[in-house]
């Protein structure tokens, strides 16, 4: 189950009080209602109010004494508290959004890999009856792409070929990413338009 970020109740209450101070509804030097009254106002437990006030106290927005109760001491710090929360809240939202994007990226990569596997399987069947199939070329000894990654060679830009996989030591690497390095005797499986085969052959033999 995906975790959804929600702001705790005590933080929401602290923010509400800070906004009221910043907007001038609660003045510097004035006293805020006691914890029991605030608990009733916000329909929460006194412990929740205690945590809310503790946050404001830590930021020097209010002072708390047994005799005087809750005293508002700084409108400026109330604004700073709001700004600090907004920054943390934005970071939390960005983290959650990034997590979702990573999951989506992984799912997309899995779909791409499944499609490429299907293409290779179907193409192998078509090869047996003389129809289309992916081009295959072995990387020759001393090719300039040996030891370089797919990305570093700008393979697609130079050949217009889309790599489906790499055959290496009797293993098939499906949908290799840009960081996979080419090795001698690798067999490149690729697709493209009619001139692509010649493009790749020329490129790896430079």
Domain with CATH 3.30.70.1450 in the chain: 135-204
CB count, 10 Å around CB of 116? 19
Residue-level length of the chain: 206
Measured distance CA(179)–CA(187) in Å, rounded: 17
Residue-level pLDDT at 131: 44
Average pLDDT of the residues of the chain: 85
Quick one: what percent of the chain has pLDDT higher than 70? 90
What's the mean pLDDT in 6-26? 89
pLDDT tens for each residue of 32-80: 877 888 888 899 998 999 999 999 999 999 998 877 688 999 999 999 9
pTM greater than 0.85? no
pLDDT (average), residues 10-39: 88
> Does the pLDDT of residue 26 top 70, yes or no?
yes
Instruction: Name the residue among 52, 79, 57, 58 with its Cα closest to residue 68.
Output: 57
3-state secondary structure the chain: CCCCCCCCHHHHHHHHHHHHHHCCCCCCCCEECCHHHHHHHHCCCHHHHHHHHHHHHHCCCEEEECCCEEEECCHHHHHHHHHHHHHHHHHHHHHHHHHHHHHHHHHHHHHHHHHHHHHHHHHHHHHHCCCCCCEEEECCCCCCCECCECCCCCHHHHHCCEEEEEEECCEEEECCCCCCEECCCCEEEEECCCCHHHHHHHHHCC
Sequence ranges of the chain with CATH classification 1.10.10.10: 9-91
Which has the higher per-residue pLDDT, 129 or 19?
19
pLDDT band at 159 (very low <50, low <70, confident <90, very high): very high
How far is residue 166's CA from residue 28's CA, in Å, rounded to a whole number?
70
- pLDDT of the residue at 1: 47
Segment 87-139, tens digit of pLDDT: 777 777 777 788 888 888 888 878 877 877 777 666 666 555 444 567 889 99
Higher pLDDT, 204 or 136: 204
Is domain 135-204 classified as CATH 3.40.710.10?
A: no
Predicted pLDDT of residue 130: 44
What percent of the chain is predicted at pLDDT more than 90?
Answer: 43
* CATH 2.60.40.1180 is the classification of domain 9-91: no
């Amino acid at each position: 189950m995906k975790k959804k970020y929600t702001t705790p109740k005590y933080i929401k209450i602290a923010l509400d009080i800070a906004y009221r101070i910043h907007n001038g509804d609660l003045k510097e030097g004035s006293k805020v209602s006691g914890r029991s009254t605030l608990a009733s106002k916000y329909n929460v437990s006194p412990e929740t109010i205690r945590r809310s006030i503790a946050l404001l106290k830590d930021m020097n927005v209010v002072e708390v004494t047994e005799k005087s109760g809750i005293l508002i001491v700084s409108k400026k710090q109330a604004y700073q508290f709001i700004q600090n929360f907004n920054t943390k809240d934005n970071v939390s939202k960005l983290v959650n959004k990034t997590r979702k994007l990573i999951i989506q990226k992984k799912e997309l990569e899995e779909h791409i890999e499944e499609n490429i596997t299907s293409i290779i399987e179907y193409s192998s069947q078509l090869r047996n009856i003389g129809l289309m199939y992916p081009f295959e070329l072995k990387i020759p000894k001393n090719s300039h792409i040996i030891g370089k990654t797919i990305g570093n060679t700008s393979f697609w830009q130079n050949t217009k070929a889309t790599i489906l996989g790499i055959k290496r030591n009797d293993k098939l690497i499906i949908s290799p990413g840009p960081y996979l390095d080419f090795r001698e005797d690798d067999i490149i499986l690729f697709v493209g338009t009619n001139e692509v085969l010649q493009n790749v052959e020329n490129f790896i033999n430079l």
